[in-house]
Structure 1
C-alpha cells in the first residue's frame, strides 16, 4: 500500500456528523456553531455549542446549568458530563442560545480533595486515583498500562496533602512517576494510560486533506541536563548515604547544544531513586516532544474507516513543506468544529510518540537538521551540528 493511500485511505464513507445534546432523555439537535475538544493532556473534555432562531427556536430550549448531559456526534457519544453555562442573547436581528459544558471529570478538576488524615500514598497509582475519584462518582479506567516490573517501584510513597489541592492535581503529579497519561473518556470516567500504540486507518497529507498546518522547532524550553531532587534545598546533598540524599543521577538531552541545567523537584519523599529518575526522564521527553509539535487542520472529523479522530492514537503524517515527511506521530489533542463560515473541520495536535513516554532513548537532532547535515556532508561542506 502506498503512503498516500495510508494517509487518506480513499474516499470517506457516508458518516453522520450531526451533533446532539441529550438531557433527561430529550435530544436537542440543529446546533449552528460547534466546538468539541478533548486530548490526552487535556482535562476535562469540553464543548461549546450555539444556535440562533434561524435554525431552532431558542426560546423552547429548556436547559439549565448543572444538568447531566451527553453530547454525541451521530450515534457516537463523545462527552458525558454536565452543562456549565446557559447563555442567551437578544438583539435586533436574532435571538441566540449558547450551551457550554464539560465531562464528569470536571468535578475532580474544580473541587478540592478531602483527605481525612492529610496523607496519601503507600499504594499504587490506580488505587490512589480510585480513592480520590470515588466521592465524585467517577470511575478509573486503565488502558494499556505498563507499570514498573519491580512491585516496590509501583508504590507511591506517603506524602502530605495540602488543603486546596484538587484530586486531579494529586493524580496527575503521581502519574508522572509511573509514566502514565491522565485524561477522560467519552463516558466521563478518568483514564490512566501508557502511550498509545493503536493507529488510525488514515492520517494527514498536505495537498490532500490538510487545510492548514504549522510547526515551530524550538530550543527555548529544552535543557541539556535534568537533575532530579527530592527537596528544594541543597543542604541535604551531603547526607552520608548517597541513596538517601537529595539528588539522584541526571538525565541528558544530547540534542541541546549548550549547557542548560534544570532541577526537577520530585514533590515526594522518595528515598529509593527510581521514581525521581523517572520524573526527570518524563520532563526531558515531554519538553523535547513539545519542541516540535505540529498543528494540523483537516477537512473531516473521521478517518477513512469512519472512526472519530482520537487522542493517544497514532496517525501517519506527511508535511514535506514543513520538513515533516513520512511520520507516524501521536495525536495529543483534537478539537471538532462546525460553523457556517468554514463548515466541518478538525484541528489536531501531533507529537512524536516518545514525547509522552519516559523510556530512555537515543536523543536525535531535529529531523530536518539531520537531513541538512547529510546534504552538507555529501557536498563536502559539513559543519558541526547537535
Structure 2
C-alpha cells in the first residue's frame, strides 16, 4: 500500500492487527453507522488465527487517522481444498446501537418533554453510552410528544435533528455528530486526468417535476367551512416550479408534470408549507445528478482522508462537469486486486438539506413563540 495512504489497522483490546489483503471501509452522510469488511487469507502473519470475537470493541485506523470506532459484528473463517484459510472480519461504528435498538425511556412514561434538540438527543444516546458532538449548537425547542414503542432511538433522533436543520451522522470516534450541511472544504478535489481513475454521472428526469405544490389539509371543521365559503379551492397551497423540466401551468404547449404533496402540518403555517415544497424541488434536483468517482488515493492534497459532508471541487469535462463544487456524500476506502482506491459519491449540496418537519401539530404562532430569542441559551 502506498505510504501516502497509510496502513489499515484494527485495534481490538491491546492487539493491533494489520496486513489485511482486502479492505472495504464505508462512511457517509446517510450511512449510519460507518462499517468495514477486512479479509486476510492463509494464517495471520505470526499468528495461528486472528484474535477477534464478535461483540468486541474495536478501532479502525488508516495510518494515524481514526475512521470507525465501534464493535466487531462478525468473524468468519473458511477453508479450501488447497489448505488455505480465509478470515473475514466485519464491524460497524458505535452508533449501531442507536439504529438497531429500541428507544429506551423507562421511567419517563415514554414521553419527551419540551427541551432543546441537543438535550433530547443526548438523553436518547446516553442510554447506549454514546456521546453527542453538537457542532451546530443546541437547536430548536422540541415540543412534548410520546415515543412509539416500536421506534428505534435513531428514528426519533433523525426527526429531532431535521426539526433543527441538523445533519446527524457518526463521527470517526463513535460519537453522534450534529452539524450543518457542508461546513468544511477539502484541500483538493477530483480532476480528470490527474487523480481520477474512473468516473460516471447519472442524470435523470423521471423523478423530477415541472411544478411542485404542497397542500395544507385542514382538520378543523369550522376552518373548512370558512375557507369553503370564500373559495372553491380552500386548501392553503404553496408552489415551486422547475422550468428546466417543463411548464408551470397546463396548456402552454410545453410538457406539464405536476406533483402535489400534503404538507405535514395540522395547523395553517404558510411559511412551513413553502419551505416544504421548496425542499422537495431542491432534493429531487440535487439527486438527479449524482457523480461517482474512483480516486487513486484515500487522501486529498493536504494528506487528509476524504470525509463525508465536505465540499470538493469536481472537474470532469468529459462528463459535462468542467468545474463544480459538490458535496461528498459517501466514501468507500478500498484495497484489493486493483490496488488502493477511494470510491466516492458526490451530489449538489441541495440534495441533502434536512427535510422541514413539524414534530407536534400545533399552531404556527405557538411555534414562533417557542423559537429561542437571540442571545445566550438558557
What band does the TM-score fall into relative to the shorter chain? 0.7 to 0.9
Residues 68 and 265 of structure 1: CA distance in aligned 2, closer, same or farther (over 3 Å): farther
1:63 to 44, 52, 55: 52
Query: In 2, are the aligned partners of 1:157 and 1:270 still within 8 Å (CA)?
Result: no
- The answer to whether the aligner puts 1:102 opposite 2:92 as a matched pair is yes
Residue 283 of structure 1 and its aligned partner are, at CA, apart by 3.3
Which residue in 2 is equivalent to 1:183? 169
More helix by share: 1
Paired residues for 1:1-386 under 5 Å: 14-53=3-42, 56=45, 59-93=48-82, 94-115=84-105, 116-120=108-112, 122-144=114-136, 154-228=140-214, 238=224, 249-257=238-246, 258-266=256-264, 272=269, 274-275=271-272, 277-339=274-336, 341-357=337-353
Residues 285 and 57 of structure 1: CA distance in aligned 2, closer, same or farther (over 3 Å): farther
Structure 2 CA distance, aligned partners of 1:236 and 1:67? 60
RMSD (Å) for aligned C-alpha atoms? 3.0
Residues 55 and 358 of structure 1: CA distance in aligned 2, closer, same or farther (over 3 Å): closer
Gaps of 5+ in 1: 1-12, 148-153, 361-386
Query: In 2, are the aligned partners of 1:177 and 1:275 still within 8 Å (CA)?
Result: no
Task: Please state whether the residue corresponding to 2:238 is helix, strand or coil.
Answer: coil
Residue 316 of structure 1 and its aligned partner are, at CA, apart by 0.9
Structure 1 CA distance, aligned partners of 2:276 and 2:157? 14
Task: Please state whether the residue corresponding to 1:136 is helix, strand or coil.
Answer: coil
Gaps of 5+ in 2: 229-233, 247-255, 357-378
Query: In 2, are the aligned partners of 1:210 and 1:299 still within 8 Å (CA)?
Result: yes
Deviations 1:180-207 (A, max 9, x none): 2111000111111111232111111111
Residues 106 and 209 of structure 1: CA distance in aligned 2, closer, same or farther (over 3 Å): same
More strand by share: 2
Deviations 1:256-289 (A, max 9, x none): 32232141553x7666555555444433322211
Structure 2 CA distance, aligned partners of 1:246 and 1:176? 26
Query: In 2, are the aligned partners of 1:285 and 1:355 still within 8 Å (CA)?
Result: yes
Query: In 2, are the aligned partners of 1:41 and 1:181 still within 8 Å (CA)?
Result: no
Aligned length: 338
Residue 307 of structure 1 and its aligned partner are, at CA, apart by 0.3
